[in-house]
Structure 1
Amino acid sequence: MKKIKRWLKNYNNSLSYVGLIVAVTFFSISLSPSLLPRPYILQGVLSGFSLLVGYSLGVACTYLWHYLELPEFKKQIKTTLQYIISALSILIFIYTIYASNNWQNELRILMGQAPNEEFLYIQMIAIALLLAFSLLFIARLFKKSFNNLRFTLHKLIPRRIANVLGLSLIAFIVFTFTNNFIISKIVTTFDEIYSIADENTDSGIKKPTNSLYTGSNSSLIQWKNLGRTGQNFIANGPTQAELTAFFSQKTLSPLRVYVGLRSRESAEQRAQLALQELIRIKGFSRSKLIVATPTGTGWLDPSAMNTFEYLHQGDTAIVSMQYSYLPSWLTLLVDPSGAKRSALVLYNTIHRYWSSLPKESRPDLYVFGLSLGALGAETSINLTTIINNPIQGGLFAGAPFPSTVSPQLIKQRNPSSPQWLPTIQDGSLVRFTAQENQLNNENWHWGPMRFVYIQYASDPMVFFSLDLYRKEPDWMKGERGHDVSPDFNWYPIITFLQVLFDLPMADKVPRGSSHRYSASSYIDGWVEVTQPKGLTKEKLKSIKHHFSDQ
């Protein structure tokens, strides 16, 4: 017991006062609202990282002060300042703890969620402290290793060279260990978990008997190789009978083709299989054809796919293929390039065959993507295909932050429009919309191709950026989206961490907020992009009412 007390005393004395003050400040600010409400566990992890970053920054500032040999405060002044700063830090801490649940509840109301009556403060603080001190302990182990290494090298080479070499070796070891063992093992574990989950079939989902369905006995693709998301996509679409009953007139059976990740080894082989299946079911005889890029898990949003098929009364075909098992937010942080490769290969394969068909009889061709799928879909269209055989357009929802196309468009927006709802030149090629339909403007006239982006102001998948730590984004300036808290302020470093930790919560909110795009928004987009024939205001209203809960 005495040894433990002595160790705790020595550990406490080794902590930096400035580091602790900055850490408490960072912790307090981390409780302030961001884009989305956070459960106490996530808040604890966020605050734990904020504690560590704040402490590290305070220690670095203290080291720099001493390194520059700046004058020290006299003892009496220093003590007085410490009392004042400590008191202010405690007051800020108490206030933010008290206000944090109100801030989170205001966000929940903005998202259409019920307020949370109980916030587990003690548990949240315990998680934050445990995480921060654990990471600090690991950091000190590495520091001790560095000191031991450089002292050993001092005996062999000059001191400055030993310091640089020792730091380089420790950094290399840490990077290699983290990347090859920790991150690699985590990603592999997640991939295995989601891969196993994808092998399962949800209850109520049965192998189709209709020969036009992918996975049927007549299909070129085995039902078991579609994976869970593919099976749901094929089985849960609207049937011809449902469409006929809804419109009270004869309709067609919507055609869907899906190739699971297990169907073939390479993306090229899967794309060829998708093409052959699409040809088998006569998908190119329909009036509208979509090349759809799914999210990271292979999921295609029913609110997007079903509404498209309703608007065209089943005279449609959709083709898609899986490229990953991992959720989009995790794939984005690890390797978002898979979506681009898969989308490009499928688009080129379908477009090449489509271009060989007579223009007067081939379907209108569009691209679609949600989230990581939007990243792939928007980059799949290359200049050569647009010039030689232009498609009719595309719909992209929640294009994520690694995207290169939509951010470039937003940078070139008209100066009077906000970043979260930009207008691009005369709106003849690209238009953006949000919860309320912003696609209609009497001064705008569409050109031969139509592209629409749907993005909600509260979507961290769209508005997270790597420079948030040092720069206030335009979407936080001036007018804000209705679902962004007016209490959300930008703070260096902390806002970066807050929005980063918003990412896994982006799809944990009700429809119509953040990264969960509503059927109504999809309908608005599809109407502008695909121009459904014979669509009256009454039909449009009835379709929106039919999907009002999605």
Structure 2
Amino acid sequence: MLGVMFFAMSLTPSLIPRGPMVQGILGGLVMAIGYLGGRIAALIWFAVDFPRLSQPTSRILLLLLVGLALASLAFTLTASLTWQNDLRTKMGMQTVDSLNAVSVLVVASATFAVAFLIGASLANLFRSIRIRLLRFMPPRRANVLGLITVVLILFVVTRDGIIDTVVTSLDESYEAAQKLFENAPPRPSEARMTGSAASLVDWARMGQPGREFVTSGPDAKAIAAFTGKPALDPIRVYVGRANGRTPKERADLALAELKRTGAFSRKVLIVVSPTGTGWMDPGAHDPVEYMHGGDIATVATQYSYLQSPLALILETNSGLDQARATLATVHEYWKTLPPGTRPRLYVHGLSLGAWSSMHATNLFRLVGDAIDGAFWAGPPFPSNFWNYSQNARVPGSPWVLPKIGDGSLVRYASHVADASDAEAEWGEMRIVFLQYSSDPIVFYDPRSLWRPPPWMNEAPAEDTSAHLRFMPIVTQFQLALDLALAFGTPEGHGHAYYAQDYIAPWVQVTAPDDWTAKDTQRLKVHCDIGLQHGCKNNGLNPSD
């Protein structure tokens, strides 16, 4: 009955709308957790020799529990369609006519059965080990050592066996695919471009994301046509994972290529940490090149071939090490240049790139001869710098769009705010976070297993459900599943960041010369319809 109650609670809404298949998987998993919790409670009850209820009393209690569980299930099944459609409407998604309750129940039952079989297999493994240990030791010791043995076996198999093998094979396969990409565009013919015959970066080893980045984006002609003023060709430098054996080698190569291309003579230089696969969002980079008339250089170094969720879990240190090496190398050289002639230096990252970029932007980058600013979009919840900023919010300001001090150093933007509203003018350094209130990558909270995240204690945001309620354990699984669904939302919601919401924050951070609010609006329109230069972006590529 506890399992059925958990299943009923799983039908309540969370941050991302769910279809019948996803809802069934979620329901089956939390049902298994509820069932396991009931079994553990019973085991403890009998282990400490608590009294058992009489048969008549236990039957009455059972009937009450069955009635409560079934009533809860009936209510949530009936209301779930309304809840999900309400969330879809707020995100501009098409509503559905049916919950497909039969499909949900079938998938949930199958998922529960699989989880039950896994649990039964582990229980049998424990019993088998315990029986063998009983030949040499008393029962209590056999129980403890048997449990420890099972835990160790699981740890070794999953962490040091299966996971390591999967990570290695994935990295090797992605590396091979990116090196031998048969449909790759030809090497750039212009010597100024990274990957050309004159470049220090080997085109064959750069990989697909890097090739696409350096060969796309607006050129001087396109920028001049938009601004009505003379423009330069933006400089884009990209170093692939296979272009160097270590993070330091790749960072040194990136610096050498920046010098070769004359990047340090530009007005603006942006050091970017890409997503897990090395992908660079055109919606983030094309607009800022327009607003600075092409007098800008951007550099990025790839650290993984894995998709961002896998890279976050399985290659945690790779992104952090590479981001730290790249920013340190570029910043240390930049500090040696005369302040009056060197470019303004900014850092940027999206999603996992934001996390690694924040890690690299340590105290040494923020004091003394510091960087000029940072723009981080969709910062993942483990990001230390983001968490520090969030917890420093002005009391009473919402968790999803907080105010930090007087706004002279740190500001926030979203699909309903552009980081222009603050009590004070910008200081010497400008930092902006772009985050959507419905983005679980940002607002997932591991502690939601036993307590509500801070944003759940506040009034619902524009694109979150008014019916969202905290439920111990169940909410944790709902938000965890939302992480996987975050890439499939319409632009401007979930983890689908796009050009229109990058533009105004970039203006706030980089302060382009002679730029007006009308220019911002013109660029938004241009990026919405200007497909010829890739300025439009419909959100983060799900494969990245």
Calculate the TM-score normalised by the size of structure 2.
0.93
Give the counterpart letter for 2:263 in structure 1: G
CA displacement at 1:201 relative to structure 2? 5.1
Give the counterpart letter for 1:313 in structure 2: G
Separation in 1 of the partners of 2:292 and 2:447?
43
Separation in 1 of the partners of 2:38 and 2:19?
28
Gaps of at least 5 residues in structure 1 are: 1-20
- 1:133 and 2:113 equivalent? yes
Give the counterpart letter for 1:405 in structure 2: F
For structure 1, which segment, 145-154 or 488-497, has the greater mean C-alpha deviation from structure 2 after superposition?
Answer: 145-154
1:215 to 162, 173, 195: 195
1:355 to 313, 318, 335: 335
| Aligned positions of 1:309-458 closer than 5 A | 309-441=289-421, 443-458=423-438
| Aligned positions of 1:149-188 closer than 5 A | 149-188=129-168
Separation in 2 of the partners of 1:214 and 1:40?
47
Contact 1:293–1:373, Cα closer than 8 Å, also in 2: yes
Output one character per residue of 1:349-398: Cα deviation in whole Å (capped at 9) or x when no partner. 11111111111100000000111111111121232343331110110011
CA displacement at 1:420 relative to structure 2? 1.0
Report SS of the residue matched to 2:346.
strand
- 1:47 and 2:27 equivalent? yes
Separation in 1 of the partners of 2:421 and 2:372?
20
Separation in 2 of the partners of 1:119 and 1:334?
35
Separation in 2 of the partners of 1:326 and 1:284?
31
1:274 to 251, 254, 259: 254
CA displacement at 1:463 relative to structure 2? 1.0
Report SS of the residue matched to 2:487.
coil
CA displacement at 1:206 relative to structure 2? 4.2
Separation in 1 of the partners of 2:222 and 2:516?
20
Gaps of at least 5 residues in structure 2 are: 529-535, 538-544
Partner of 2:542: none
Partner of 1:521: 501
CA displacement at 1:147 relative to structure 2? 2.1
Partner of 2:518: 538
1:90 to 65, 70, 94: 70
| Aligned positions of 1:234-245 closer than 5 A | 234-245=214-225
For structure 1, which segment, 57-66 or 69-78, has the greater mean C-alpha deviation from structure 2 after superposition?
Answer: 69-78
CA displacement at 1:194 relative to structure 2? 4.1
For structure 1, which segment, 520-529 or 309-318, has the greater mean C-alpha deviation from structure 2 after superposition?
Answer: 520-529
For structure 1, which segment, 215-224 or 183-192, has the greater mean C-alpha deviation from structure 2 after superposition?
Answer: 183-192
Partner of 2:531: none
Report SS of the residue matched to 2:448.
coil
Contact 1:200–1:228, Cα closer than 8 Å, also in 2: no
Separation in 2 of the partners of 1:211 and 1:118?
58
CA displacement at 1:189 relative to structure 2? 4.8
Contact 1:201–1:231, Cα closer than 8 Å, also in 2: no
CA displacement at 1:79 relative to structure 2? 1.3
Partner of 2:541: none
Output one character per residue of 1:285-336: Cα deviation in whole Å (capped at 9) or x when no partner. 1000000000111111111101111111111000001111112222222232
For structure 1, which segment, 533-542 or 384-393, has the greater mean C-alpha deviation from structure 2 after superposition?
Answer: 384-393
Report SS of the residue matched to 1:358.
coil
Separation in 1 of the partners of 2:306 and 2:79?
36
Output one character per residue of 1:227-271: Cα deviation in whole Å (capped at 9) or x when no partner. 111111112211111111112221111110001111111111111
For structure 1, which segment, 323-332 or 313-322, has the greater mean C-alpha deviation from structure 2 after superposition?
Answer: 323-332
CA displacement at 1:337 relative to structure 2? 2.2
Output one character per residue of 1:505-535: Cα deviation in whole Å (capped at 9) or x when no partner. 1111121111112322211211111110011
- 1:293 and 2:285 equivalent? no
CA displacement at 1:196 relative to structure 2? 4.9
Report SS of the residue matched to 1:124.
helix
Partner of 1:35: 15
2:237 to 228, 238, 257: 257
CA displacement at 1:407 relative to structure 2? 0.6
Give the counterpart letter for 2:367 in structure 1: I
- 1:224 and 2:189 equivalent? no
- How many residues are paired up? 530
Contact 1:437–1:524, Cα closer than 8 Å, also in 2: no
1:145 to 119, 125, 147: 125
Report SS of the residue matched to 1:547.
helix
Partner of 1:18: none
CA displacement at 1:439 relative to structure 2? 2.0
For structure 1, which segment, 139-148 or 301-310, has the greater mean C-alpha deviation from structure 2 after superposition?
Answer: 139-148
Report SS of the residue matched to 1:292.
strand
Separation in 2 of the partners of 1:311 and 1:202?
35
Report SS of the residue matched to 2:421.
coil
- 1:303 and 2:283 equivalent? yes
In structure 2, the CA distance between the partners of 1:541 and 1:438, relative to structure 1 (3 Å rule), is: closer
Separation in 2 of the partners of 1:115 and 1:192?
42
Contact 2:193–2:236, Cα closer than 8 Å, also in 1: yes
Partner of 1:492: 472
Contact 1:206–1:235, Cα closer than 8 Å, also in 2: no
Separation in 2 of the partners of 1:251 and 1:438?
26
Sequence identity percentage: 37
Report SS of the residue matched to 1:207.
coil
Contact 1:329–1:461, Cα closer than 8 Å, also in 2: no
CA displacement at 1:166 relative to structure 2? 1.6
Contact 1:271–1:346, Cα closer than 8 Å, also in 2: yes
Give the counterpart letter for 1:57 in structure 2: G
- Cα RMSD, aligned residues only: 2.0
Separation in 2 of the partners of 1:32 and 1:91?
15
Output one character per residue of 1:462-481: Cα deviation in whole Å (capped at 9) or x when no partner. 11121110111111112232
Partner of 1:233: 213
In structure 2, the CA distance between the partners of 1:121 and 1:212, relative to structure 1 (3 Å rule), is: farther
- 1:64 and 2:44 equivalent? yes
Separation in 2 of the partners of 1:334 and 1:31?
30
Output one character per residue of 1:409-432: Cα deviation in whole Å (capped at 9) or x when no partner. 111211111111111112121111
Contact 1:30–1:494, Cα closer than 8 Å, also in 2: yes
Separation in 2 of the partners of 1:512 and 1:402?
22
Contact 2:319–2:356, Cα closer than 8 Å, also in 1: yes
Separation in 1 of the partners of 2:61 and 2:103?
32
